[in-house]
Amino acid sequence: MSKFLNKKYLTLEAYTPGEQPKDMQYVKLNTNESPYPPSDNVLNAVNRDSVAKLNLYPDPECKELKQAMADLYGVGTKNVFLSNGSDDILNFFFMAFCDGEEHPVIYPNISYGFYSVYSKLHGADAREIPLCEDFSINIEDYCKNDANVVIANPNAPTGLALTLDQIERILISNPDRLVLIDEAYVDFGAESAVSLISEYDNLLVVGTFSKSRSMAGARLGFAFANENIIADLEKIKYSTNPYNINRLTLIAGKAAIEDNDYYMDNCKKIQDTRNYTIAKLRELGFDVTDSKANFIFAKSYAISGEALYRELKKRGILVRHFSNSLICEYNRITVGNDEQMKKFIRETANILERKIEL
Ligand SMILES: *Cc1c(COP(=O)(O)O)cnc(C)c1O
Protein backbone atom coordinates (compact mmCIF):
# COMPACT_ATOMS: atom_id res chain seq x y z
CA MET A 1 0.00 0.00 0.00
CA SER A 2 1.31 3.45 -0.82
CA LYS A 3 1.03 6.44 1.46
CA PHE A 4 -1.19 8.06 -1.16
CA LEU A 5 -4.22 5.77 -0.94
CA ASN A 6 -7.45 7.49 0.11
CA LYS A 7 -8.18 6.91 3.77
CA LYS A 8 -11.63 5.49 3.02
CA TYR A 9 -9.99 2.55 1.22
CA LEU A 10 -7.49 1.61 3.93
CA THR A 11 -9.65 -1.22 5.27
CA LEU A 12 -11.15 -2.29 1.93
CA GLU A 13 -10.84 -6.04 1.39
CA ALA A 14 -10.72 -6.91 -2.28
CA TYR A 15 -12.53 -9.90 -3.81
CA THR A 16 -10.42 -13.05 -4.23
CA PRO A 17 -11.02 -14.65 -7.65
CA GLY A 18 -10.69 -18.42 -8.02
CA GLU A 19 -7.07 -19.47 -8.53
CA GLN A 20 -5.70 -19.91 -12.06
CA PRO A 21 -2.46 -21.85 -11.46
CA LYS A 22 -0.20 -22.45 -14.48
CA ASP A 23 2.14 -25.12 -13.02
CA MET A 24 0.23 -27.95 -14.71
CA GLN A 25 -2.90 -28.63 -16.76
CA TYR A 26 -5.80 -28.89 -14.36
CA VAL A 27 -9.35 -30.04 -14.77
CA LYS A 28 -10.74 -26.64 -13.85
CA LEU A 29 -13.86 -26.98 -11.75
CA ASN A 30 -13.34 -23.88 -9.63
CA THR A 31 -14.78 -20.79 -11.36
CA ASN A 32 -18.12 -21.95 -12.80
CA GLU A 33 -17.14 -21.46 -16.43
CA SER A 34 -18.92 -23.48 -19.12
CA PRO A 35 -17.06 -26.59 -20.35
CA TYR A 36 -18.53 -25.91 -23.82
CA PRO A 37 -17.10 -23.38 -26.30
CA PRO A 38 -19.03 -20.44 -27.80
CA SER A 39 -21.23 -21.38 -30.79
CA ASP A 40 -19.98 -21.41 -34.40
CA ASN A 41 -21.98 -18.26 -35.04
CA VAL A 42 -19.89 -16.44 -32.41
CA LEU A 43 -16.60 -17.85 -33.73
CA ASN A 44 -17.49 -16.65 -37.23
CA ALA A 45 -18.77 -13.22 -36.18
CA VAL A 46 -15.60 -12.26 -34.33
CA ASN A 47 -13.34 -12.32 -37.34
CA ARG A 48 -10.66 -10.38 -39.21
CA ASP A 49 -13.19 -7.79 -40.37
CA SER A 50 -14.41 -7.06 -36.86
CA VAL A 51 -10.86 -6.88 -35.48
CA ALA A 52 -9.97 -4.51 -38.35
CA LYS A 53 -12.42 -1.97 -36.92
CA LEU A 54 -10.82 -1.80 -33.50
CA ASN A 55 -9.52 1.67 -34.35
CA LEU A 56 -13.13 2.86 -33.85
CA TYR A 57 -14.93 3.22 -30.53
CA PRO A 58 -17.78 0.78 -29.90
CA ASP A 59 -21.44 1.94 -29.84
CA PRO A 60 -21.94 3.29 -26.29
CA GLU A 61 -25.71 2.75 -26.61
CA CYS A 62 -25.19 -0.93 -27.59
CA LYS A 63 -28.29 -0.56 -29.77
CA GLU A 64 -28.13 -3.81 -31.75
CA LEU A 65 -27.39 -6.05 -28.79
CA LYS A 66 -30.03 -4.30 -26.68
CA GLN A 67 -32.61 -4.93 -29.39
CA ALA A 68 -31.62 -8.60 -29.60
CA MET A 69 -31.87 -9.00 -25.81
CA ALA A 70 -35.21 -7.15 -25.69
CA ASP A 71 -36.64 -9.42 -28.41
CA LEU A 72 -35.39 -12.62 -26.79
CA TYR A 73 -36.65 -11.75 -23.29
CA GLY A 74 -39.86 -10.03 -24.38
CA VAL A 75 -39.16 -6.59 -22.87
CA GLY A 76 -38.61 -3.09 -24.31
CA THR A 77 -35.14 -1.81 -25.19
CA LYS A 78 -35.56 0.83 -22.45
CA ASN A 79 -35.80 -2.02 -19.95
CA VAL A 80 -32.36 -3.39 -20.88
CA PHE A 81 -28.98 -2.36 -19.48
CA LEU A 82 -25.68 -3.83 -20.69
CA SER A 83 -22.27 -3.63 -19.11
CA ASN A 84 -18.78 -5.10 -18.88
CA GLY A 85 -19.72 -8.26 -16.97
CA SER A 86 -22.47 -8.44 -14.37
CA ASP A 87 -19.94 -7.57 -11.66
CA ASP A 88 -19.89 -4.15 -13.28
CA ILE A 89 -23.67 -3.89 -12.89
CA LEU A 90 -23.53 -4.98 -9.26
CA ASN A 91 -20.90 -2.29 -8.70
CA PHE A 92 -23.16 0.31 -10.34
CA PHE A 93 -26.10 -0.86 -8.22
CA PHE A 94 -24.24 -0.30 -4.97
CA MET A 95 -22.83 2.99 -6.27
CA ALA A 96 -26.22 4.28 -7.41
CA PHE A 97 -28.63 2.96 -4.79
CA CYS A 98 -26.85 1.95 -1.57
CA ASP A 99 -25.35 4.67 0.53
CA GLY A 100 -25.20 5.11 4.29
CA GLU A 101 -28.16 4.80 6.66
CA GLU A 102 -30.73 6.28 4.31
CA HIS A 103 -30.20 3.57 1.71
CA PRO A 104 -29.23 0.41 3.61
CA VAL A 105 -28.88 -2.97 1.94
CA ILE A 106 -29.32 -6.57 3.11
CA TYR A 107 -28.18 -9.88 1.61
CA PRO A 108 -27.58 -13.44 2.87
CA ASN A 109 -24.48 -14.03 5.00
CA ILE A 110 -23.51 -16.86 2.65
CA SER A 111 -23.68 -15.61 -0.91
CA TYR A 112 -21.62 -14.09 -3.71
CA GLY A 113 -18.52 -12.48 -2.18
CA PHE A 114 -18.74 -9.32 -4.23
CA TYR A 115 -21.83 -8.02 -2.40
CA SER A 116 -19.82 -7.23 0.72
CA VAL A 117 -16.84 -5.94 -1.28
CA TYR A 118 -19.02 -3.43 -3.16
CA SER A 119 -20.82 -2.50 0.07
CA LYS A 120 -17.51 -1.49 1.63
CA LEU A 121 -16.26 0.17 -1.55
CA HIS A 122 -19.30 2.45 -1.63
CA GLY A 123 -19.78 2.95 2.11
CA ALA A 124 -23.14 1.19 2.17
CA ASP A 125 -24.89 0.39 5.43
CA ALA A 126 -24.96 -3.37 4.78
CA ARG A 127 -26.37 -6.13 6.92
CA GLU A 128 -25.87 -9.84 6.34
CA ILE A 129 -28.90 -12.01 7.08
CA PRO A 130 -28.04 -15.55 8.28
CA LEU A 131 -29.23 -18.44 6.14
CA CYS A 132 -31.21 -21.24 7.83
CA GLU A 133 -29.28 -24.33 8.98
CA ASP A 134 -30.04 -26.11 5.72
CA PHE A 135 -28.70 -23.07 3.78
CA SER A 136 -32.17 -22.06 2.65
CA ILE A 137 -33.28 -18.41 2.63
CA ASN A 138 -36.06 -17.46 5.04
CA ILE A 139 -38.19 -15.09 2.97
CA GLU A 140 -39.67 -13.41 6.06
CA ASP A 141 -36.22 -12.03 6.92
CA TYR A 142 -36.28 -10.00 3.71
CA CYS A 143 -39.87 -8.79 4.08
CA LYS A 144 -39.62 -7.09 7.46
CA ASN A 145 -36.46 -5.07 6.85
CA ASP A 146 -36.72 -1.58 5.43
CA ALA A 147 -33.69 -1.96 3.16
CA ASN A 148 -32.65 -2.72 -0.40
CA VAL A 149 -32.38 -6.47 -0.95
CA VAL A 150 -29.75 -8.37 -2.94
CA ILE A 151 -30.30 -12.09 -3.52
CA ALA A 152 -28.59 -14.45 -5.96
CA ASN A 153 -31.14 -16.88 -7.38
CA PRO A 154 -30.00 -19.63 -7.39
CA ASN A 155 -27.79 -18.63 -4.49
CA ALA A 156 -24.02 -19.11 -4.66
CA PRO A 157 -22.30 -21.24 -3.49
CA THR A 158 -25.26 -23.26 -2.17
CA GLY A 159 -27.08 -23.66 -5.51
CA LEU A 160 -30.49 -23.40 -3.80
CA ALA A 161 -33.22 -21.52 -5.65
CA LEU A 162 -36.24 -19.46 -4.63
CA THR A 163 -39.58 -19.68 -6.44
CA LEU A 164 -41.11 -16.69 -8.23
CA ASP A 165 -43.84 -16.59 -5.57
CA GLN A 166 -41.20 -16.12 -2.89
CA ILE A 167 -39.51 -13.34 -4.86
CA GLU A 168 -42.87 -11.66 -5.39
CA ARG A 169 -43.49 -11.66 -1.64
CA ILE A 170 -40.24 -9.80 -1.10
CA LEU A 171 -41.11 -7.30 -3.86
CA ILE A 172 -44.58 -6.63 -2.45
CA SER A 173 -43.30 -6.10 1.08
CA ASN A 174 -40.61 -3.58 0.00
CA PRO A 175 -42.35 -1.18 -2.41
CA ASP A 176 -40.05 1.71 -1.48
CA ARG A 177 -36.86 -0.34 -1.66
CA LEU A 178 -35.06 -1.99 -4.55
CA VAL A 179 -34.82 -5.76 -4.87
CA LEU A 180 -31.90 -7.00 -6.98
CA ILE A 181 -32.14 -10.62 -8.14
CA ASP A 182 -28.76 -11.84 -9.40
CA GLU A 183 -29.59 -14.54 -11.97
CA ALA A 184 -26.03 -15.55 -12.93
CA TYR A 185 -27.10 -19.22 -12.74
CA VAL A 186 -30.80 -19.06 -13.57
CA ASP A 187 -30.51 -20.94 -16.90
CA PHE A 188 -29.48 -24.14 -15.09
CA GLY A 189 -32.88 -24.86 -13.59
CA ALA A 190 -34.41 -21.92 -11.68
CA GLU A 191 -37.21 -19.55 -12.71
CA SER A 192 -36.29 -16.12 -14.04
CA ALA A 193 -37.96 -13.06 -12.51
CA VAL A 194 -37.72 -11.07 -15.77
CA SER A 195 -41.46 -11.50 -16.34
CA LEU A 196 -42.09 -9.49 -13.15
CA ILE A 197 -40.36 -6.25 -14.17
CA SER A 198 -43.49 -4.80 -15.82
CA GLU A 199 -45.44 -5.33 -12.61
CA TYR A 200 -42.89 -4.23 -10.03
CA ASP A 201 -40.99 -0.95 -10.42
CA ASN A 202 -38.64 -1.93 -7.58
CA LEU A 203 -37.20 -5.04 -9.27
CA LEU A 204 -33.77 -5.23 -10.92
CA VAL A 205 -32.87 -8.55 -12.53
CA VAL A 206 -29.17 -9.04 -13.34
CA GLY A 207 -27.71 -11.69 -15.67
CA THR A 208 -24.44 -12.62 -17.35
CA PHE A 209 -23.05 -14.24 -20.50
CA SER A 210 -20.24 -15.75 -18.38
CA LYS A 211 -21.86 -18.98 -17.24
CA SER A 212 -24.69 -20.33 -19.42
CA ARG A 213 -23.48 -18.56 -22.59
CA SER A 214 -19.82 -19.63 -22.51
CA MET A 215 -18.44 -16.08 -22.63
CA ALA A 216 -16.67 -15.51 -19.30
CA GLY A 217 -13.64 -14.21 -21.19
CA ALA A 218 -15.64 -11.63 -23.16
CA ARG A 219 -17.09 -9.81 -20.10
CA LEU A 220 -20.75 -9.17 -20.83
CA GLY A 221 -23.50 -8.64 -18.28
CA PHE A 222 -27.10 -7.46 -18.61
CA ALA A 223 -29.95 -6.23 -16.46
CA PHE A 224 -33.71 -5.80 -16.83
CA ALA A 225 -35.87 -3.33 -14.92
CA ASN A 226 -38.35 -0.50 -15.10
CA GLU A 227 -36.99 2.18 -17.44
CA ASN A 228 -36.31 4.68 -14.65
CA ILE A 229 -33.98 2.27 -12.89
CA ILE A 230 -32.25 1.56 -16.22
CA ALA A 231 -31.87 5.32 -16.79
CA ASP A 232 -30.14 5.63 -13.38
CA LEU A 233 -27.73 2.83 -14.29
CA GLU A 234 -27.02 4.50 -17.66
CA LYS A 235 -26.24 7.73 -15.80
CA ILE A 236 -23.64 5.93 -13.70
CA LYS A 237 -22.20 4.19 -16.77
CA TYR A 238 -21.92 7.47 -18.69
CA SER A 239 -20.27 9.03 -15.63
CA THR A 240 -17.59 6.36 -15.47
CA ASN A 241 -16.92 4.68 -18.83
CA PRO A 242 -19.51 4.95 -21.64
CA TYR A 243 -17.49 2.59 -23.85
CA ASN A 244 -17.24 -0.16 -21.27
CA ILE A 245 -18.27 -2.95 -23.66
CA ASN A 246 -15.74 -3.41 -26.43
CA ARG A 247 -16.61 -3.92 -30.11
CA LEU A 248 -15.73 -7.63 -30.21
CA THR A 249 -17.84 -8.42 -27.17
CA LEU A 250 -20.86 -6.57 -28.61
CA ILE A 251 -20.55 -8.64 -31.80
CA ALA A 252 -20.04 -11.90 -29.90
CA GLY A 253 -23.03 -11.18 -27.63
CA LYS A 254 -25.39 -10.56 -30.54
CA ALA A 255 -24.19 -13.71 -32.34
CA ALA A 256 -24.71 -15.72 -29.14
CA ILE A 257 -28.28 -14.48 -28.77
CA GLU A 258 -28.97 -15.58 -32.35
CA ASP A 259 -27.79 -19.06 -31.33
CA ASN A 260 -29.80 -19.24 -28.14
CA ASP A 261 -30.90 -22.86 -28.69
CA TYR A 262 -27.29 -24.04 -28.74
CA TYR A 263 -26.69 -22.52 -25.30
CA MET A 264 -29.94 -23.75 -23.81
CA ASP A 265 -29.10 -27.28 -25.05
CA ASN A 266 -25.73 -26.99 -23.32
CA CYS A 267 -27.53 -25.95 -20.14
CA LYS A 268 -29.63 -29.13 -20.33
CA LYS A 269 -26.49 -31.23 -20.80
CA ILE A 270 -24.90 -29.51 -17.81
CA GLN A 271 -28.00 -30.21 -15.69
CA ASP A 272 -27.87 -33.92 -16.64
CA THR A 273 -24.17 -34.08 -15.81
CA ARG A 274 -24.83 -32.25 -12.54
CA ASN A 275 -27.58 -34.64 -11.48
CA TYR A 276 -25.43 -37.67 -12.35
CA THR A 277 -22.49 -36.27 -10.36
CA ILE A 278 -24.68 -35.44 -7.37
CA ALA A 279 -26.02 -39.02 -7.33
CA LYS A 280 -22.47 -40.43 -7.41
CA LEU A 281 -21.33 -38.10 -4.61
CA ARG A 282 -24.29 -39.21 -2.48
CA GLU A 283 -23.26 -42.82 -3.14
CA LEU A 284 -19.88 -41.85 -1.70
CA GLY A 285 -21.58 -40.54 1.42
CA PHE A 286 -21.46 -36.82 0.63
CA ASP A 287 -23.99 -34.33 1.87
CA VAL A 288 -25.01 -32.44 -1.29
CA THR A 289 -27.43 -29.54 -1.65
CA ASP A 290 -30.21 -29.63 -4.25
CA SER A 291 -28.32 -27.40 -6.67
CA LYS A 292 -30.14 -25.66 -9.50
CA ALA A 293 -26.87 -24.11 -10.74
CA ASN A 294 -23.86 -25.27 -12.79
CA PHE A 295 -21.98 -26.17 -9.63
CA ILE A 296 -22.34 -28.66 -6.81
CA PHE A 297 -21.98 -27.84 -3.13
CA ALA A 298 -20.89 -30.89 -1.17
CA LYS A 299 -19.33 -32.06 2.05
CA SER A 300 -17.94 -35.43 3.09
CA TYR A 301 -18.08 -36.79 6.63
CA ALA A 302 -14.91 -38.79 5.90
CA ILE A 303 -12.54 -35.93 5.01
CA SER A 304 -12.42 -32.20 5.73
CA GLY A 305 -13.35 -29.76 2.99
CA GLU A 306 -9.86 -28.35 2.89
CA ALA A 307 -8.12 -31.74 2.78
CA LEU A 308 -10.34 -32.88 -0.09
CA TYR A 309 -9.60 -29.66 -1.98
CA ARG A 310 -5.82 -30.19 -1.48
CA GLU A 311 -5.88 -33.89 -2.42
CA LEU A 312 -7.87 -33.17 -5.57
CA LYS A 313 -5.44 -30.41 -6.53
CA LYS A 314 -2.50 -32.83 -6.20
CA ARG A 315 -4.35 -35.07 -8.65
CA GLY A 316 -4.87 -32.26 -11.14
CA ILE A 317 -8.44 -31.24 -10.27
CA LEU A 318 -9.27 -27.74 -9.06
CA VAL A 319 -12.40 -27.12 -7.02
CA ARG A 320 -13.33 -24.05 -4.94
CA HIS A 321 -12.86 -24.17 -1.18
CA PHE A 322 -13.98 -21.28 1.06
CA SER A 323 -12.28 -20.67 4.40
CA ASN A 324 -15.43 -19.10 5.93
CA SER A 325 -16.05 -21.29 9.01
CA LEU A 326 -19.78 -21.68 8.17
CA ILE A 327 -19.01 -23.53 4.94
CA CYS A 328 -15.39 -24.69 5.28
CA GLU A 329 -16.40 -28.37 5.31
CA TYR A 330 -17.86 -27.95 1.83
CA ASN A 331 -16.40 -27.55 -1.62
CA ARG A 332 -18.01 -25.89 -4.62
CA ILE A 333 -17.47 -28.04 -7.70
CA THR A 334 -18.23 -26.58 -11.14
CA VAL A 335 -20.09 -28.98 -13.42
CA GLY A 336 -17.79 -29.71 -16.35
CA ASN A 337 -18.40 -32.19 -19.17
CA ASP A 338 -19.10 -35.90 -18.49
CA GLU A 339 -15.47 -36.92 -18.87
CA GLN A 340 -14.25 -34.27 -16.44
CA MET A 341 -16.85 -35.20 -13.85
CA LYS A 342 -16.04 -38.91 -14.15
CA LYS A 343 -12.42 -38.10 -13.48
CA PHE A 344 -13.51 -35.99 -10.50
CA ILE A 345 -15.65 -38.83 -9.09
CA ARG A 346 -12.94 -41.43 -9.72
CA GLU A 347 -10.28 -39.36 -7.95
CA THR A 348 -12.61 -38.50 -5.08
CA ALA A 349 -13.36 -42.21 -4.58
CA ASN A 350 -9.61 -42.92 -4.65
CA ILE A 351 -8.94 -40.27 -2.02
CA LEU A 352 -11.65 -41.79 0.20
CA GLU A 353 -10.35 -45.30 -0.60
CA ARG A 354 -13.78 -46.24 -1.87
CA LYS A 355 -14.91 -48.16 -4.94
CA ILE A 356 -17.53 -46.73 -7.27
CA GLU A 357 -18.98 -47.73 -10.63
CA LEU A 358 -19.22 -45.00 -13.24
C1 LIG B 1 -20.13 -15.30 -11.77
C2 LIG B 1 -21.10 -14.44 -11.01
C3 LIG B 1 -21.28 -13.10 -11.33
C4 LIG B 1 -20.33 -12.36 -12.22
O5 LIG B 1 -20.44 -12.56 -13.51
P6 LIG B 1 -19.61 -11.71 -14.58
O7 LIG B 1 -20.67 -11.37 -15.56
O8 LIG B 1 -18.57 -12.64 -15.08
O9 LIG B 1 -19.03 -10.48 -13.93
C10 LIG B 1 -22.27 -12.39 -10.67
N11 LIG B 1 -23.01 -12.95 -9.70
C12 LIG B 1 -22.83 -14.22 -9.34
C13 LIG B 1 -23.66 -14.80 -8.25
C14 LIG B 1 -21.86 -15.00 -9.97
O15 LIG B 1 -21.63 -16.24 -9.57
According to the model, what pLDDT value does residue 283 have?
97
Atom of ligand 1 lying closest to residue 216 CA: 8
**The pLDDT of residue 240 is above 90:** yes
Q: 280-297, pLDDT tens digit by residue?
A: 999 999 999 999 999 999
According to the model, what pLDDT value does residue 45 have?
97
According to the model, what pLDDT value does residue 123 have?
94
According to the model, what pLDDT value does residue 236 have?
98
**The pLDDT of residue 57 is above 90:** yes
Atom of ligand 1 lying closest to residue 89 CA: 9
- State how far the Cα of 30 lies from the Cα of 320, in Å rounded to an integer: 5
Atom of ligand 1 lying closest to residue 86 CA: 7
pTM over 0.95: yes
Q: Burial level of 146, CB count in 10 A (0-12/13-18/19+)?
A: exposed
**The pLDDT of residue 139 is above 90:** yes
Atom of ligand 1 lying closest to residue 209 CA: 7
Q: 146-184, pLDDT tens digit by residue?
A: 999 999 999 999 999 999 999 999 999 999 999 999 999
Q: 258-270, pLDDT tens digit by residue?
A: 999 999 999 999 9
Q: How confident is the model at residue 100 (pLDDT cuts 50, 70, 90)?
A: confident
According to the model, what pLDDT value does residue 24 have?
87
According to the model, what pLDDT value does residue 144 have?
84
Compute the distance from residue 176 Cα to the ligand 1 centre, in Å: 26
List the one residue out of 39, 69, 33, 80 whose CA is nearest residue 293. 33
Q: 7-24, pLDDT tens digit by residue?
A: 999 999 999 888 889 888
**Cα radius of gyration (the chain):** 21
Compute the distance from residue 87 Cα to the ligand 1 centre, in Å: 6
- Spell 93-127 as b/e; 16+ CB within 10 A means b: bbbbbbeeeebbbbbbebbbbbbbbbbbbbebbbe
**The pLDDT of residue 132 is above 90:** yes
Instruction: Report, as an integer, the average pLDDT of 218-235.
Output: 98
Compute the distance from residue 148 Cα to the ligand 1 centre, in Å: 19
Torsion-angle region of 214 (φ positive above 0: left; ψ -120 to 50: alpha; else: beta): left
Pocket of ligand 1 (CB under 6 A): 32, 85-87, 112, 152, 156, 182, 184, 208, 210, 216, 221
Which residue has a Cα nearest atom 5 of ligand 1?
Answer: 86
- State how far the Cα of 203 lies from the Cα of 104, in Å rounded to an integer: 16
Instruction: Report, as an integer, the average pLDDT of 134-153.
Output: 96
Amino acid at 145: N
**The pLDDT of residue 103 is above 90:** yes
Compute the distance from residue 302 Cα to the ligand 1 centre, in Å: 32
- State how far the Cα of 88 lies from the Cα of 65, in Å rounded to an integer: 17
